[in-house]
Structure formats: structure tokens, C-alpha cells
Amino acid sequence: MTVEGGQATELRGIRDHPFTRGGLCAKVNHFLERVYSPERLLHPLRRTGPKGSSEFARASWDEALDAIAERLRAIVTESGGEAVLPYSYLGTQGVVQGMSMDRRFFARLGATQLRRDICGSTPAAGITATLGRREGLLLPEELVHSRFLVLWGTNTIVTNLHLWPFVREAKERGATVVVVDPLKTRTAQSADWHVRPLPGTDGALALGMMHVIVAEGLHDADYVERHTVGFEQLRERLEEYPPERCAELTGLEAQEIVDLARAYATTRPAAIRTLIGMGHHGNGAMTARTIACLPVLVGAVKERGGGLAGTTGYLFGVLDLDRLARPELLRESTREVNMVQLGRALTELEPPIRALVVYNSNPAAIAPNQELVLQGLRREDLFTVVLEQFLTDTARHADYVLPATTQVEHLDLVPSWGHTYLTLNRPAIEPRGEALPNSEVFRRLARRLGFEEPCFRDSDEDLARQALASGHPFLAGITYQRLCEEGWAKLAIPDDWRPHAKGAFATPSGKCELYSEALAARGLDPLPGYTPPAELQELGDRYPLRLLTTKSALHFLNSSYANLPRHLRAEKEPLLDLHPDDAAPRGIGDGDQARVFNDRGSLTLRARVGDRVRPGVVAVPSGWWASLSPGGRSANALTRDDLADWGGGGDFHDTLVEVARAG
């Protein structure tokens, strides 16, 4: 960062960072335009018009915080703390501004607890049931040693750009790169082999592969015998999933399933890279569990460059997150709300939510079942506070909007979901206008509400130091002082990390659990299996097309950046991707306006007819704000808000729709 006269003038990547190597993606390359945007919120605002009208008056911090504290105190006195709901996720990407003083505040208040499971919790639950770990077994840098690399359900070039050089290096060393994805993404176009199953059928594909591997004796019998439980039960289950049946379920050719299974099992070392997209199905946990069996079955976990590579975010659970959040402040048992079902919580929950505090998120854009979410946000009896940098679709419905700092204006400790380097984010400039860090807002509210516990006086530096003090071996040698001097530090994990080369799984049995007694005890299927999407079984006749709401935008990060002029110009407009086989019988041509709809809502978008999607599938990009989209609605106007099989995530990729020519 270059700062001249107190103003940031240039942002660039650090070339000597071992993983990012100085690269900046299109999302953050022009981050300073966000910091200095004329639309940036610089002062507290008080609502003066109807909710959603964007009619606000400037307020002082004292006026705003006094009013907020008074209203929260009255609500808690009248209805108890659980009448208050916090709503947040990873908007700041850091633990100081995202899961410290805020968590303490709402625990002390006795607020309804938010289950923040919208992202990776479902696949993590499935992987944990199998391997005992949430993060997979293979570090991302180790992919260069792979000779058969399956990017399963991840658009790496768009969502994980810094990993792509490692994939490219593996390919230059002779690796075959396979992409498993219903969509022809940028990543799929750069692969050697693109496998295109129907959405939500990845588990059936994995079962078909395992059938071939076991039937042809391609599994590592010695490793399986010594380090797994339940192989014989799995072998019996696999009899139900021959390639022919799995071809019917997935929409693939049976021979392609056979070819993929043989290539994966016989090429050494073989790696599978998954992320979170497949977890957004009703069968998401079971799908992740089933795929996680593959590298164990073929013994890939023994070899450098082999195994299962997932998000690295869970490795940073070694930070002392409980010390940051102080759950002991919670004075009584309170109810929980899953963030996936915000619309239901605001419109159906009894006793009702009377106050909503949103920070690090934009639920009007990112939460499923958008119409129900907006209905809840428009309740005149709902007191809403939003901490934000811009007047988002959510902030437009707030009673008070409080200006938040950006990453270049506050201190934070930032883990990564894509690599193993912990970063200290230090402020480069003073906060613009009257913007404050989230942590400071909750400190000031705590004082006004009379919270006297010493932890509410901890500074941001105190919080960062506390997070680093867990004593976990992965944090060995990583101190606050070192981070101040060096900027980042790699977790103390060996480069060639093969924790299960000789077994030692962190499961109840100490082995990879192909059959899980723990799942059986919960009434869940103890073996890998496949269940079709619920909406397909219920509404498949009325709505024959499967909808994917994709992270295909190069310039949006979820809903962040989606309001900035440069990013909007680059993305141009949200398009409806439709295959010619589905477009022709509906009389829709490339460039025509088309209406995509179901019982939850409808959108009218320009159709892009081609083979980016396979027959039976349509795609709409996520991240667009409804207020900046055609017709004032975005992709989540259509999406489901039910929960996945286990783990708490949502099933929004199980959404079905119909499409008709507009006008």
C-alpha cells in the first residue's frame, strides 16, 4: 500500500508472498475505488421514510448509539434477549472484526444465537463423519505433485485464482486435470477432461466410480483392511450403484463413469479438490462424505500429492476463537436461528424477532428465498441496525445505518480458506469520515448498556493477541510481534503433510469410517448413499429445469463490489444461460428476454443460449443486488431455503424452475 499525505494511492500484491505471489484478482485489484467511492457511507444515518425507501437523515454517533442502546434495552426488558437477532458472516474476512467483540456483546445480551452455516458447514460435516477432519488431507501447494487432479464442483480460476498456478504447474509436470461440474466454466474450458453430471448427483457419480474400483479390484486392499471400518458393508451397498444406474441418475454415459474410475484409481498420485458448491444441496453432507471415501479406497492418502484437498479455513480453528467470543457470557439458554432461513425467522418465528443487527453481510442479496427475506425486513415493528460501507439493499431497510471501516482502515487477524498463511491486517490510513471498526461499535454499545465485564474493554490488539494464544502446535512461533514485522506467517504444518498415510484418523474408531456407527446412532444412513433432490421429487413435473445460481462473476465477491461502477460495467448484466435443447421448444432465441420462475418468485433476464449449461439445467449468476438487477429481483428470488441433510447448510442449488419467453 502506498500512502501519500494520509491518502492511499496504490494497492498492490506482495510478490514475495509464497502463495499469492503478488497476484490480485479482478475483485480487489481496484479496492481503493471502494474505499474512496462517492457512495461510501461516512456518517451514521437515521431512517426518515418507509423501509426500503432509502430516505435517511444524518445523525451523530452519540445520537445513533444512544437511540440503539435505548431501543435494545427496552426490547430485552419487554421480551427477553432472544427477541434480538444478530446476522453476520465473513464480510471483513477477519476474526477481530467478525467474531470477537460482537460475539461477546450478543452473548451478554442473551440474544438469539445465529447458526452461521450458509457456506461450508454441510460438506465439512460429511467429510468429518468419514475422515474425522473437516479440512481434507492435502495442502493446496502439494497439488503440484499430483498426476491426476480432479477439480470437483469448484470453478478455481474464478473463485480461487491463487491456486490456479499450482494446478497449471501440475499440468506442466504431466498431470491430467479433470473438472467435474454441470457448467462449462472458465476452469472447465482449461481442463483436459470435463465431466458434466446433473446438479446434485455428484454422490451418485462417486458411488458409480467406487463400484467400478471395487468390482475391478483397483482399490488398495491392504490400506483398506488396516485403516478403514465397514468395507464389506460398503461393498454390498455399491452393488446398488452399477455404472448403468449411475448414468441414469447423473445424466452421464456409463462408459464415462467407468473411464473416470479407472483413470483415477490407476494414476498415481491422484488428488481431488473440492470446495463448498456441492454442499448447497439437500444431500450435500452425504455427497461430501461419499467423495471423501475415494482417496482412502485407492490409497491416495499415502502419497505426496494424493488425497483430498478442501478448504484450508478449518485449519485456522487452532486460533483461540472461544476466547475471542467468550461464550461463557451467555447467561441463559437461548434459541438458535439458521442464517439460511432468515426469511422464516423474521416472518414466522414465535415469539417474534423484534430487533435485527446486521454486519459483515447483505442478506437482502445473499440469503435464499429473497421475497420472504424482504417481507421480513419491511416489517415496521422490526428495529433494524446495519453496520455497512455502502447503502446496500439490506441497509435500505434499516432504522439506523452505521458507517463501517474497510480493511485498509482497521486492525484485523485474517485466516484464509485457500492457503495456510495467517495475515495481520494493519490499518494503512485513518478511517474515512466517521467510520468505525465493528469492534469499536460494539464496545460503545456495551458501555451504554452497562456491560461491566473487563473483556468489553479489550483493544483490537488485545483481541488479536488472545486469538494467537491457544498454544496449538500449528501456531508455534507465530506471535503478534512477528506478524507486525513480517505481515504473515505460515501455520506450522509440514509441506509434505500426510496425516493419514498410516491411518490415525480422528474418528471414534481411529479409522476411516466407510460405515459410521455415529451416523447410525443419529438415525442417518451409516453408509455412503444417494438421495435425489426433494424438489425434484415433489415439483419435477411443474418445474422441469434445474437452476444453478453460480459464482461466475469475475468482479463480484458474493454481493461485495456489485454496486461499484467499474465492476458493474465489467459484468454488464445478469444473463440466463439456457441450452439450445431447452430454448428451442420454448421459442427462446439467443438474446431474447426470458422469464424464469417458480412458486417463490420470478426474474426476467436476457437469455444466453449455448452449451455453457447442459440440457435440463439453467444458470443465473449470484451476487447481483436486486435493486441493480432487471425488474428489481436477483437470483435468490427463486432459491429454496430448506436445510441440507446434516451440517446446517442450505439446499438452494436444488431449486427447480420453468422458463418462458417474455412479452
Average pLDDT of the residues in 546-550 = 94
Answer with the residue of higher pLDDT: 18 or 661.
Answer: 661
Are 593 and 609 within 8 A, CB to CB? no
Are 97 and 438 within 8 A, CB to CB? yes
Using CA atoms, how far residue 283 sits from 181, 243, 275, 287, 603, in Å, is 16, 20, 15, 6, 27
**Per DSSP, what are the bridge partners of residue 549?**
620
Domain 534-661 matching CATH 3.30.479.20: the answer reads no
Question: Cis link prior to 351 (omega < 30° from 0)?
Answer: yes
State the pLDDT confidence band at 53, using cuts at 50, 70 and 90.
Answer: very high
pLDDT beyond 80 at 577? yes
pLDDT beyond 90 at 556? no
Place of cell 478511517: 431
The pLDDT value given to residue 29? 86
Amino acid at 305: G
Report the C-alpha gap between 585 and 579 in whole angstroms: 11
Of residues 174, 187, 188, the one with CA closest to residue 268: 174
The pLDDT value given to residue 212? 98
Report the C-alpha gap between 522 and 151 in whole angstroms: 31
Cα-Cα-Cα-Cα torsion 278, 538, 376, 559, nearest 10 degrees, comes to 30
Q: Is the pTM above the cut of 0.85? A: yes
Identify the burial level of 85 via C-beta atoms within 10 angstroms of its C-beta, where 0-12 means exposed, 13-18 middle and 19 or more buried. Answer: buried
Average pLDDT, the chain: 95
State the pLDDT confidence band at 409, using cuts at 50, 70 and 90.
Answer: very high
User: Strand locations in 316-420, DSSP E?
Assistant: 336-338, 355-359, 383-388, 400-403, 412-414
Of residues 414, 422, 461, 426, the one with CA closest to residue 440: 461
Average pLDDT of the residues in 413-422 = 95
Report the C-alpha gap between 300 and 294 in whole angstroms: 8
What helix, strand, coil percent values describe the chain, rounded to 5? Answer: 40, 15, 45
Hey, is 597 helix, strand or coil? strand
The pLDDT value given to residue 386? 98
The pLDDT value given to residue 308? 96
**pLDDT, tens digit, 9 for 90 and up, residues 454-483:** 999 999 999 999 999 999 999 999 999 999
Report the C-alpha gap between 46 and 402 in whole angstroms: 9
Q: Residues 6 or more apart from 406 whose CB is under 8 A from it?
A: 31, 34, 35, 389, 435
Hey, is 263 helix, strand or coil? helix
Amino acid at 448: R
**Per DSSP, what are the bridge partners of residue 577?**
608, 619
**pLDDT, tens digit, 9 for 90 and up, residues 234-262:** 999 999 999 999 999 999 999 999 999 99
Answer with the residue of higher pLDDT: 219 or 535.
Answer: 219
Average pLDDT of the residues in 360-364 = 97
The pLDDT value given to residue 649? 94
Are 276 and 311 within 8 A, CB to CB? yes
Q: State the helix-helix crossing angle for 202-215 and 243-250, rounded to 10 degrees.
A: 170
Average pLDDT of the residues in 616-631 = 93
Q: Residues 6 or more apart from 396 whose CB is under 8 A from it?
A: 51, 52, 53, 54, 364, 627
Report the C-alpha gap between 120 and 340 in whole angstroms: 12
pLDDT beyond 90 at 534? no
Q: Residues 6 or more apart from 294 whose CB is under 8 A from it?
A: 206, 209, 210, 213, 264, 272, 300, 308
Report the C-alpha gap between 246 and 237 in whole angstroms: 13
The pLDDT value given to residue 618? 98
Q: What's the distance, Cα to Cα, between the start and end of the chain in Å?
A: 51
Q: For domain 122-310, which CATH number applies: 3.40.228.10, 3.40.1160.10, 3.20.20.60, 3.20.20.70? A: 3.40.228.10
Are 624 and 505 within 8 A, CB to CB? no
Backbone dihedral region for residue 116 (phi beyond 0: left; psi -120 to 50: alpha; all else: beta): beta
pLDDT beyond 80 at 135? no
Average pLDDT of the residues in 396-413 = 98
**Per DSSP, what are the bridge partners of residue 578?**
609, 618
pLDDT beyond 90 at 608? yes
**Grid cell locating 446:** 456495551
Amino acid at 227: H
Report the C-alpha gap between 492 and 357 in whole angstroms: 37
State the pLDDT confidence band at 59, using cuts at 50, 70 and 90.
Answer: very high
Report the C-alpha gap between 413 and 415 in whole angstroms: 7
DSSP 614-639: -TTEEEEES---GGGSGGG--GGGS-
Place of cell 471415501: 293
User: How many percent of the chain have pLDDT more than 70?
Assistant: 100
The pLDDT value given to residue 1? 82
The pLDDT value given to residue 24? 80
Report the C-alpha gap between 475 and 66 in whole angstroms: 41
Domain at 40-118+336-490, CATH class: alpha beta
Q: What is the DSSP letter of 560?
A: B
**Grid cell locating 659:** 422458463
Identify the burial level of 156 via C-beta atoms within 10 angstroms of its C-beta, where 0-12 means exposed, 13-18 middle and 19 or more buried. Answer: buried
Query: Where do the structural domains in the chain lie, given as residue ranges?
Result: 1-36, 40-118+336-490, 122-310, 534-661
State the pLDDT confidence band at 561, using cuts at 50, 70 and 90.
Answer: confident
**pLDDT, tens digit, 9 for 90 and up, residues 4-36:** 999 989 898 888 888 888 878 877 889 999 999
Are 346 and 337 within 8 A, CB to CB? no
Average pLDDT of the residues in 286-314 = 96
Helix (H) or strand (E) holding 337: strand 336-338
State the pLDDT confidence band at 107, using cuts at 50, 70 and 90.
Answer: very high
The pLDDT value given to residue 136? 72
